[in-house]
Homo-oligomer: A and B are copies of this chain.
Amino acid sequence: MLLHLSTWQEIEAYLQRSKTVVVPIGSNEQHGPTGLLGTDWLCPEIIAHEAQKDSDLLIAPTFNIGMAQHHLGFPGTISLRPTTFIAAIGDWCRSLAGHGFEKIYFLNGHGGNVATIEAAFSELYAEASFARAERGFACKLKNWWELKGVNALAQRQFPVGHGSHATPSEIAVTQWAYPGAVKTAEYSPQIAPTGPIREAVDFRARYPDGRMGSDPALATPEKGGELVMLAAAGLVEDVAAFAAEPFPARG
């Protein structure tokens, strides 16, 4: 069930049977010579939309811009500062919690988002903690590649050249969903370098074509489809477990 294609009464009815909502969250940033700028928000969106086809999951609109300051040296990247990101995640959660959602699950597509999303959760919890009050809702962050079996599959599919940015696995997922937007390009070295992540100018000096440790030409739509199916199943299972968690402070 896609929230944005529903009416408010349909959401009201959904809340009678579930207090859980899934938010795909990612980033719009360069993904090397062949990866789409939207890769990191498209992947969790693709997986979440797939997962809701056969299960009673509610999927919120995609939070499509995240923390990608280090990619700003490459045209097309759009980034929020961490403090802006924290404020925005806060408003999303306050909006949803006000409707009665008690479990807000973020399916994330960008490693660079993790620290700030966790800080945003703490910022939300802190409002309650300073008041020594129960918060009323719980947040959870899960990277799609950490859903059950997904990382293992990606390692089997791409035993060499997977890397950590502009990876063949994420590019494969978008190739499967957007077959009309499969890109090819020459690049070298075949496997990109690795190293630390700092500001944008430093990043581009270290990683001139945008890849980190990856050989994205290994991606195929078929492999992407396998990843999506496995991740979608894992998402349904993981959300169910989160939805079932009790609130011990409610006594």
Tell me the A residues contacting B by CB distance below 8 Å: 3-12, 15, 28, 30-38, 41-42, 60-65, 67, 69-70, 72-84, 86-88, 90-92, 94-96, 98-100, 112, 114-116, 118-120, 122-123, 125-126, 128-135, 138, 178, 181, 183, 185, 196, 198-202, 204-206, 210, 245, 247-249, 251
Q: Are A28 and B11 in contact (CB under 8 A)?
A: no
Q: Are B128 and A181 in contact (CB under 8 A)?
A: no
Distance in Å: Cβ of A57 to nearest Cβ of chain B? 15
Q: For the complex formed by this chain, how many copies does it contain in all?
A: 6
Q: How far is the CA of A3 from the CA of B198 in the complex (A)?
A: 25
Q: Chain B residues with Cβ under 8 A from A200's Cβ?
A: 125, 128-129, 132
Q: Chain B residues with Cβ under 8 A from A87's Cβ?
A: 81, 83-84, 87-88
Q: Are A35 and B7 CB-contacts (below 8 A) given A130-B72, A199-B135, A206-B248? A: yes
Q: Are B73 and A84 in contact (CB under 8 A)?
A: no
Q: How far is the CA of A10 from the CA of B64 in the complex (A)?
A: 20
Q: Are B28 and A132 in contact (CB under 8 A)?
A: no
